[in-house]
Amino acid sequence: MRPRLWAPLVCSALMALPAAAQVSDTTLLVAARALSFLQHPPQGEIIVGIVYQPGNAQSTLEATQLNAMMEDGFRAGQLVLRPRLITLDELAGSNVGLYFLTSELGHAAIALAQLNRSRKIPCITTDIVQVRDGNCAMGVRAIPRVEILVNRAAAAASGMTFSEAFRVMITEL
């Protein structure tokens, strides 16, 4: 990816929201709907690997919230999301259709980026820093305004190709 001078500014702008509000039903809905604009959108039931760090309170809280939202199946259009909690150590053995990165994984999330180069599994997060660093392809937030940030290089590495109508309406790095 060619670095963008204003990429840090984008991240700063998108990160300016309360951490506790980062994961909500609306956030998950936005994430799921955004997936429908992939050129090959996932359909039916997919297992979402909720990647978290057990020792980190915020990460664990988000993972718990996400797990609760999806445990009965989170429906968005033709997509039904079902959760699987995955620690960073369990990444290599995970068998999921989508990764959802919780916050505050820090540099440990590099492992996911490396894994994705071979597995081509879409990744979504509310932690915009992970998008900026290329560890996850797509960042979303829902409140107060829906914002979607895509790291083009990370998306290409994980096989995520979006429709042009979607691309012209989001922020890309």
Least separation in angstroms between CB 167 and another protein: 5
Tokens of 77: 């259009």
Give the H/E segment covering residue 5: none
Question: With respect to another protein, which residue has the nearer C-beta, 20 or 156?
Answer: 156
Which amino acid does the sequence have at 107? H
Question: With respect to another protein, which residue has the nearer C-beta, 36 or 56?
Answer: 36
The C-alpha angle with vertex 152 and arms to 148 and 154, in degrees rounded to 5, equals: 100
Question: With respect to another protein, which residue has the nearer C-beta, 7 or 111?
Answer: 7
Which residues contact residue 113 at a Cβ distance below 8 angstroms, ignoring those fewer than 6 apart? 134, 135, 136, 154, 157
Least separation in angstroms between CB 62 and another protein: 22
CA distance 39 to 163: 6
Helices (H), the chain: 7-15, 25-35, 57-70, 110-119, 128-132, 152-157, 164-167
Which positions touch another protein (CB under 8 A)?
Answer: 4, 6, 9-10, 12-14, 16, 30, 33-34, 36-41, 142, 144-146, 150, 152, 155-156, 160-169, 171-173
Least separation in angstroms between CB 135 and another protein: 16
Question: With respect to another protein, which residue has the nearer C-beta, 13 or 110?
Answer: 13
Question: With respect to another protein, which residue has the nearer C-beta, 86 or 113?
Answer: 113
Least separation in angstroms between CB 55 and another protein: 32
Least separation in angstroms between CB 116 and another protein: 13
